[in-house]
Amino acid sequence: TIKAFLPSMMARNHGHIVGIASQLGFIGAAGLVDYCCSKFAVLALVDSLRDELWISKHDGIHCTCVCPFLIDTGLFRGVTISGRNDLSVESVDEFPTIFTAIKAEHAAKSIIDGVRRNKQYITLPKLLYFGAVLKSLLPVRALNELLTFIGMHDAMKTFQGY
């Protein structure tokens, strides 16, 4: 679909392309190889396209990559992280964590706000901007230990999905 719209955007030097990726495009997860690969591909597509537009002096066309952790749509129903097997917003008491699913309405508002501000990346929740940084700074073994500690390596064992 980008190929269908990009030529007219380039002719007008105006437009905005939004790619929906995931935090799992930055850091892979056991049991989700295909999903993680597809989200990494979205990140690479948006980054590469942004570079091509910059080099070709199409500075009126913006690219944003959305990288949520989990949006409460039911797609990952049954996933267990940090001992919690219900990550939906309704299941959280007064102390939500960064592993709580984000309401779709909140995600939509954050995405619209980010696009209006021409943000290159929108990470939900914002605290997870550090995910890519951690991957870059930590040795692989340390990252694996951290992911094991928070329960990411076992998360898909209880997956039910739609």
CA dist., res. 149 & res. 162, Å (int) = 27
Q: CA angle 42-44-46, nearest 5°? A: 70
B/e letters for 99-123, b = 16+ CB within 10 Å, e = fewer, are bbbbeeeebeebbeebbeeebebbb
Residues labelled catalytic: 35
CB-CB contact of 89 with 57 (8 Å): no
Tell me, what DSSP letter sits at residue 65?
A: E
Tell me, what DSSP letter sits at residue 119?
A: -
Spatial CA neighbour of 108 closest among 39, 8, 4, 18: 18
